[in-house]
Amino acid sequence: MSVILEIKDLTKTYPKAKRPALESLSLQVESGAIYAFVGPNGAGKTTTIRIIATLLGFERGEVRLGGYSVRTQVHEVRQLLGYIPDEFGLYDEMSASEYLEFFASCYGIPPQKRRSISTDLLDLVGLSHRAGDEVRTLSRGMRQRLGLARALVHEPALILADEPASGLDPRARVELRDILRVLQELGKTIFISSHVLRELDDIATHVGIIEQGRMVAEGTPEDIRQRLRPHRCARIALLGAPDDAQAWLAQHPAVRGITLEAPATNGARANGSPAAIAPRHPELLVTVEGGEEDLARLLAEMVSAGFPVLSFTEERETLENLFLDLTQGVVS
């Protein structure tokens, strides 16, 4: 795939700051990717996004969108991006359709096309039924979706979103995530900063983790998982007593560790945690050296050995856990 956004050695310092907001930051975003740009508060996410959006200068480095420099080719860059800031104003007394048509006019779209663009975008973000309603009557989630539609009126190649899920309820977050998936399917590239990592875990194709203005990890979620967790973990549910299976696994050359989780008794919960209900059948958490093929081979060998395996599931590290491992949450 081609690279649509490239940042090299980006450095930005605010007056009187103790340290640079960004220090030699570099990253690449491929066309068609959903790039999750994550980091603690104060890490430099919004600064980076405002620089990409041509709204903020910088001292050193290079930022190019579609091959155009954000420093010297501002008009070309702005034609390629749709920007969704963390907070943006809406014209409350306009209707949703009037709002989109107004921004279509700002981008020089001919009058005869503005209505159809507004109709299509409202349908895309699920607001067709509110097309004639004033913006002030919309919920926060609806207003956020309208803001996303506004960023799409000129058919940008890159969607630049700064904490778009902030303040949204769980349903609104799911709706926003589904829209982002559709946009990717339509060929859009999405660069999204957020600390709501659970939502990004399901949709991100690439991740950049930033702290104190520096990139600490970048790659696909699987690449980062492999780098930090070279071993695989499988959850194996068994019918009956697990003793024989546990002893067999302990002698297996690929197994590096085994933890037993007992079945539930009178509604007991596993490990005393109120969030994790104990399993109905004994389960073994098994750490295995190697990749997916090694897990598949272990399952086949257990079945061949006659063990009554009810389920065999890989336990994947969440993006949130990786984020916590890689960052310290230091803000200065």
Residue 309 has pLDDT above 90, yes or no: yes
State the alpha helices, DSSP H only, in the chain: 45-52, 74-80, 96-106, 111-124, 140-151, 170-185, 197-203, 221-228, 243-250, 292-304, 319-326
For 284-307, what is the mean pLDDT? 91
Of residues 35, 36, 48, the one with CA closest to residue 8: 48
Q: In what order do the strands lie in the sheet with 309-314?
A: 255-261, 283-289, 231-238, 309-314
For 59-71, what is the mean pLDDT? 96
CB 188 within 8 A of CB 157: yes
Spell out the domains of the chain, with CATH numbers in brackets. 3-226 (3.40.50.300), 230-316 (3.30.70.260)
Residue 261 has pLDDT above 60, yes or no: yes
- State the residue for tokens 């302990």: 250
For residue 157 the two structure tokens come to 């190649």
Other CB atoms within 10 Å distance of the CB of residue 299 = 15
Determine whether 162 is exposed, middle or buried from the number of CB atoms within 10 Å of its CB (0-12, 13-18, 19+): buried
The predicted structure's pLDDT at residue 172: 82
For 29-39, what is the mean pLDDT? 94
Mean residue pLDDT of the chain comes to 87
pTM of the model: 0.78
For 158-185, what is the mean pLDDT? 86
Supply the DSSP symbol for 271.
Answer: G
